Amino acid sequence: MKRNLVLLLATAVSAGGFSLLAQLDDAAPFPKEFRTWAHVKSVLVGPQSAAFATEGGIHHIYANDKALEGYETGKFPDGSVIVYDLLETKEVAGNTVEGPTRRIDVMVKQGELYRATAGWGFMSFPSGNPAEGRLTAERQAACAACHAKRDDHDSVFSEFRK
Ligand code: HEC
């Protein structure tokens, strides 16, 4: 009887532990389905670009349905998610094609939660690894500081090409 109680307690504690982990993970949710979202634009960043060291390759920007509303109105509602998918390029038979993922940057709009960074949570997944997206507050502030150049467009640089 006593043993069962201990087991029960142990189960309760580990279940609590899991839900805490889930909450922490929620701080950097990897948007698994983004490749099926709306494609906003792509840019090929070549060696002549000032941004080549960090942005060289091809990037595609994707928006979920909520973010599409934002591209329409200039004000992105809570739940908007935008993905910057950066890939290496390679030359194959005269064609420039996508190589391995360099990095996946994500912006998630939650006005209250991310008040310090204009309502956006910033995440960055090196090599697209879903387990490594969380950024320190300092790094998020650096993302937000540059994105603030577009505070006329709710901190979003890209425009949706019709
Ligand atoms: C020095 C300026 C600068 C910094 C710092 C910066 N970005 Fe950006 N970001 C840009 C620009 C410019 C674009 C638009 C690229 C395009 O239009 O193709 C962009 C695009 C994006 C997008 C697509 C949505 C949009 O605004 O068009 C996401 C998501 C993103 N960045 C995330 C991040 C994250 C996460 C960080 C920090 C780790 C970060 N950015 C840091 C300049 C910056």
146 lines ligand 1 (CB under 6 A): yes
Least confident of 22-31, 33-42, 66-75: 22-31
Task: Identify the domain containing residue 45 by its residue range.
Answer: 31-153
List Cβ neighbours of 134 (8 Å cut-off, separation of 6 or more). 27, 28, 123
80: domain CATH number is 3.50.70.20
Please write the tens of the pLDDT for every residue from 92-141. 999 999 999 999 999 999 999 999 999 999 999 999 999 999 999 999 99
Query: Can you point out the beta strands (E) in the chain?
Result: 38-45, 57-63, 81-92, 95-109, 120-126
For residue 22, is it within any domain? yes
CB 71 less than 6 A from any atom of ligand 1: no
Q: What is the pLDDT of residue 29?
A: 82
pLDDT at 43 over 50: yes
pLDDT averaged over the chain? 88
Q: Which of 82, 108, 146 to mutate to test the pocket of ligand 1 (most atoms within 8 A of CB)?
A: 146
Q: Residue 160 domain-assigned?
A: no
The answer on 98 and 20 residing in a single domain is no
Residues 10 and 62 in one domain: no
Q: Are residues 84 and 23 in the same domain?
A: no
